[in-house]
Structure 1
Amino acid sequence: MGFTIEKQMVFLGLVVLFPLLCTSQNTFTSSRATYYGSPDCYGTPSGACGFGEYGRTVNYGNVAGVSRLYRNGTGCGACYQVRCTNPQYCSDDGANIVVTDYGEGDRTDFILSPRAYAKLAKANLALELFAYGVVDVEYRRISCKYSDYNLMFKVHEHSRYPHYLAIVILYVAGQNDITAVELWQEDYKEWRPMRRAYGAVFDLANPPPDSITLRFQVSGSAGYTWVQSNNAIPSYWKAGAVYDSTIQLT
């Protein structure tokens, strides 16, 4: 069932309060990283993934824009451990980040929020690392684990009832990618594909007039599989509403 306006506000608050917990599996790849300006050191709500406020505050604002790892939007929401390689200034663990944007730099794979970039440094050496601007790093993809959250989807603010529906996918756990979204067309008794508009946003013109059931194609360690949401979007949906799919990805 949908969230009320009050619950939506609580939901956005919880995004800030709950950290992202990660476990790693892959080997490291060499690259470079830099950072972007931000008045509060968080991410940006206007990122290319379409996450809005979620993309600004998720994981305490430890987020990044990526270039080739963006993968035409499929990489949105993926988690990585990034650590710089200068032994004088760099910490051993580096930063665990969430991809929320697209960005290109000087041969960089990561353009980090200031919060994430500061975590690359040893204690009390962040200013010295910021002075470099661009640093050599190594990274690996890690599993995202969100405390108390299933896979969720939000009716994007650009949606216009009843003629245009767009949704944005949130809280993709594990080392999984959402590669496709379909909705059930009851009058034709078939699944109807939604278009990846950009980033993590999928859309469809002239959606069915009744309640809308979604299923998601998930790409992970087990290959490709379809999982269906147990919560339907009600027939009189509104932009900004957030729904829990009840799907728990691992």
Structure 2
Amino acid sequence: MASSFRRPRSIGRLLVALAVLMAITVTRVDANFQTSDWSLAHATFYGDETASETMGGACGYGNLYSTGYGTATAALSSVLFNEGYGCGGCYEIRCTGATACYAGSPSIVVTGTNLCPPNWAEASDNGGWCNPPRVHFDMSKPAFMQIADWNAGIVPVMYRRVSCPKTGGVRFQFQGNAYWLLVYVLNVGGSGDVCSIDVKGDSTDWISMTHNWGASFQAFANLGGQALSFQLTTCTSQETLILYNVADAGWSVGLTYEGDSNFF
């Protein structure tokens, strides 16, 4: 399903610009997202060159082309997936120490968009690659082919957390109804992950949304007919971003609304 991006409406363009300047607040608990040190892991791939099997993963990002993630993605072992709180995190990965690795050890930055579940029927070092406590990346085949010969099947890699470069604002895909708002959070920059979200209607105080699964959060409240604002806090960098009037009072489920700012 094609997404429709909607920005807040106002009386005039000048009023919108002034409102954005006054309304968007970024509070930094941690100065900036810091790239982590390199660590060892392993990587496999799933699907084929079309990456069609990577669409609609456990994070809830849906069609990864239309939501902007493309094929530079990976399913994360449960240690990294962290019950969905790891969704949206970006990792630089490079193949190392194997003949299948491409010369020069090229790297690729991928986003965690899916869960690689445990396979308890197989040993952790022989088929159960995503069994805890292993750190593992099950990459899309196009991403894997950027760093190694796909015929290898599995390769040792070095990885590190990096900032997610995004264009445009944080996006909110609405599901549910006027009394149960389910929001999928997309296109998050910086550390990319989201630990908590609050929502505020024109007639309500801030309401803490509960984590549903993956990158989705929910609020059981009567929010229909109200312009909605959101406050997000990231997991890794503990940065908070407040976006006012992301969706106007005529918001509808099934649509995606875009804020006017993002994490750096």
- Identify the TM-score tier after normalising by the shorter chain: 0.7 to 0.9
Letter in 1 for 2:231: R
> Which of 144, 147, 166 pairs up with 1:117?
144
Kept after mapping to 2: 8 A contact 1:42/1:56: no
* Cα deviations by residue, 1:71-116 (Å, 9 ceiling, x for unpaired): 1111111110111213533131232111100013633411110111
Unpaired segments ≥5 residues, structure 1: 11-22, 122-128
Q: Which residue of 1 aligns with 2:64?
A: 54
Q: Which residue of 2 aligns with 1:135?
A: 155
Q: Which residue of 1 aligns with 2:251?
A: 237
State the alpha-carbon separation in 1 of the partners of residues 256 and 66 from structure 2: 17
The equivalences for 1:1-250 within 5 A come to: 8=4, 25-38=35-48, 40-42=50-52, 44-54=54-64, 58-67=68-77, 68-91=79-102, 92-104=105-117, 106-108=128-130, 109-121=136-148, 129-147=149-167, 149-156=168-175, 159=176, 161-184=177-200, 187=203, 190-209=205-224, 210-221=226-237, 224-250=238-264
Name the CA shift for 1:39/1:53 in 2 (closer, same or farther; >3 Å). Answer: same
* Cα deviations by residue, 1:119-144 (Å, 9 ceiling, x for unpaired): 112xxxxxxx3222111111111111
Kept after mapping to 2: 8 A contact 1:212/1:235: yes
Kept after mapping to 2: 8 A contact 1:104/1:111: no
Q: CA deviation at 1:193?
A: 1.0
Q: Which has the larger radius of gyration?
A: 2
* Cα deviations by residue, 1:145-183 (Å, 9 ceiling, x for unpaired): 123x12221213xx2x32321111111112243110111
TM-score w.r.t. the length of structure 2 is 0.73
Kept after mapping to 2: 8 A contact 1:76/1:200: yes
Kept after mapping to 2: 8 A contact 1:43/1:61: no
* Cα deviations by residue, 1:11-34 (Å, 9 ceiling, x for unpaired): xxxxxxxxxxxx983221111111
Letter in 2 for 1:233: A
State the alpha-carbon separation in 2 of the partners of residues 34 and 94 from structure 1: 15
Kept after mapping to 1: 8 A contact 2:35/2:162: yes
Structure with more contact order per residue of length (Cα contacts < 8 Å, sep ≥ 6): 2
SS at match of 1:177: coil
State the alpha-carbon separation in 2 of the partners of residues 238 and 202 from structure 1: 17
Kept after mapping to 1: 8 A contact 2:201/2:227: no
Alpha-carbon RMSD = 2.8
Name the CA shift for 1:132/1:9 in 2 (closer, same or farther; >3 Å). Answer: same
State the alpha-carbon separation in 2 of the partners of residues 56 and 97 from structure 1: 17
- Aligned length in residues: 220
Name the CA shift for 1:7/1:241 in 2 (closer, same or farther; >3 Å). Answer: closer
Unpaired segments ≥5 residues, structure 2: 7-32, 119-127, 131-135
SS at match of 1:61: coil
Name the CA shift for 1:118/1:42 in 2 (closer, same or farther; >3 Å). Answer: farther
TM-score w.r.t. the length of structure 1 is 0.77
State the alpha-carbon separation in 1 of the partners of residues 58 and 2 from structure 2: 27
